[in-house]
A and B are shown apart, each in its own frame.
Chain A
Amino acid sequence: MRAEVTLRGHMYLKQRKSTFMYKRNCVHAVECAVQIFFTACAFLTIVTVAVITGYLIVNGVPAIWKIGIRDMLFSTVWSPTAKQAQYGILYIVLTSLVGTAMAVMLGVPIALLTAVYLVEIASDKMAAVMKTAVELLSGIPSVVYGMLGLMVLNPLVYRLELRLYRDSVTHQFTGGANLLSAVLVLTLMILPTVTSISESALREVPAELKASSLALGASQMQTIFKVVIPAAKPGIITAVVLGVGRAVGEALAISLVSGGCVNIPLPFYPVRFLTTAIVGEMGYAAGLHRQALFTIGLVLFIFIILVNLTLNHIVRSGDK
């Protein structure tokens, strides 16, 4: 009996090593069929990723050849429909980078403090209510954020703009549709993700670690900022990276509030993001313009891949 069991185990291990696609440890025909079916389903994902990657490269690269890498990536003039068409996407790329960075810099501290409040300070009842609110917030479709941004945020930002640029003769008023509004909408949109992931990270900090700090005579605040948050750092970084991912990829909401001209990304300028450029122009673009939009898609795709690689790296180094 024993020998047989170990022998089987041994064989199993050998098979495990020897097959690449699936562990060929099925015995009956039905089992094998099921395994093959599952494998096929799993492959669908891989195929999808491969197709998307291939499609974006095939469609995104030609424009770079035709326009020239310098005229495209490092030029700031984007006028694809002019007689002398120009396809510089530098400002568009910068807008996405700066917009995301600003949203993250604003949103992460707020989300982190919210998470600390939920875990360390709020009563159980209060925490439950707030958690539900945070979950609801993350379930709201992005177009709704955009609409509310348009109706509520833009007028407020416009008021601010009017006050700040009261005496300016050169400023082009945006009516509130500018980078600042987009950043604020993005900030709101990443709050739920960053909050709930930071919260679970904070909750996982062992109670004894906190108690050790308190037992040394540290106050609750000292304990939170010097021990609890550092201990939750890997989870918090994951939260931040996911927030970055969400902000980089967001299109609909910010297309409604960001104005839409290609501009250097300054708070009170109307701007165009990588995503909003595609959303806004794909409908009518043709020829080289269309190809250039695919290049923009490719750049966006590369950003997202980079974000995900960072995430994987963090998760893996956290496991060690």
Chain B
Amino acid sequence: MGNEECRKTGEFCLDPRTVYLAPDFVEACVQNNRLFVKGNEAVAMAALEAGCRYYFGYPITPQSDIPEFLSRELPKLDGEFIQAESEVASINMLLGASATGVRAMTSSSSPGISLKQEGISYMAGSELPGVIVNISRSGPGLGGIDASQADYFQSVKGGGHGGYRIVVLAPASVQEMYDLTMLAFDLADLYRMPAMVLADSVIGQMKEAVVPHPRPAVDLPAKEWAVQGKGGGEQRIVKSLYLGDGELEAHNWKLYAKYEQLRGKEVRWEEFLADDADLVVTAFGSVSRIAKTAIMQAREEGLKVGLLRPITLFPFPAQAYARITGRCKKVLDIELNTGQMIEDVRLSVTKDTEVFFYGRPPGAGSLPTPEELLEQIRKHY
């Protein structure tokens, strides 16, 4: 089984020449070690490099490139690809595989992620790692397939029952699709909890250059909790049911302590031209990219505008907001929804900071342009 193989770090498991290429780019660009791939493909590539050999999914637009890529490549690596009968089944397959200690992944888009919430809650309760990718689309309900950030609440606040959190990473480039997918596996293993990569069809469908890298050497704890058959040793149990007096409360405090640890150690964010800014724009994922161009245009007009982009949505980089708004008193929050992250932004800025909001509820034709965001910047500057 490819499992031992995939524990190796510092070494590629895949020959980029044979693997990374979309069919129409057979001899693609291994130029300067920069591969020109779609965001979704970068996720799949990184999962393989991270040692993930188990994928469970169900078709849904706009993430199907991920299962399509993996259905082609996993068999070559002795891995398992299962197209499950539903998202409910696929998240529970992930739960089962993760419980045995292997690295495993599922991916979907918003309606499918809703169905996975039960399983995610059980994984959180059972302290199981596992990576969930959401190439989110517009809702509610069937909604549409356009890029959306309307799943912020669902992802960040614990989308299922029981008051848990999961790691949520928000890539804004194809390179980050690669890097953060890899990081998601490490954080999931380090903290024994599910980790989500939250992107949308802009980041998933666009192509950029990626510098692939092998799995970094991270000191990961041994998975002594993983079920593998007693083999003469102690019995191991993976569960979330705690009925004894005080047991469940203690369990919840233990989970809470991990969330606090994450808040202390794992926050990541990007600042762009923020040091001297009089107005700081804040946005994540695809919208942060659109905002960047608007900010560059604003700078050309002499407006001192910068960007604060959370990379980890949970843990939220509250400290970055506190520090920046110690000096800059105006924040413009931009989202592809009617206002979700803004609640965390408001809780994180200094008291006398004004927080403005500009949002577009997702749907066909509602992706804002840099020119449109520049208007907003001028208005609030």
Are A and B a genuine interacting pair, yes or no? no
Q: Which residues of B contact A (CB under 8 A)?
A: none
Residues on A lying within 8 angstroms of B by beta carbon are none
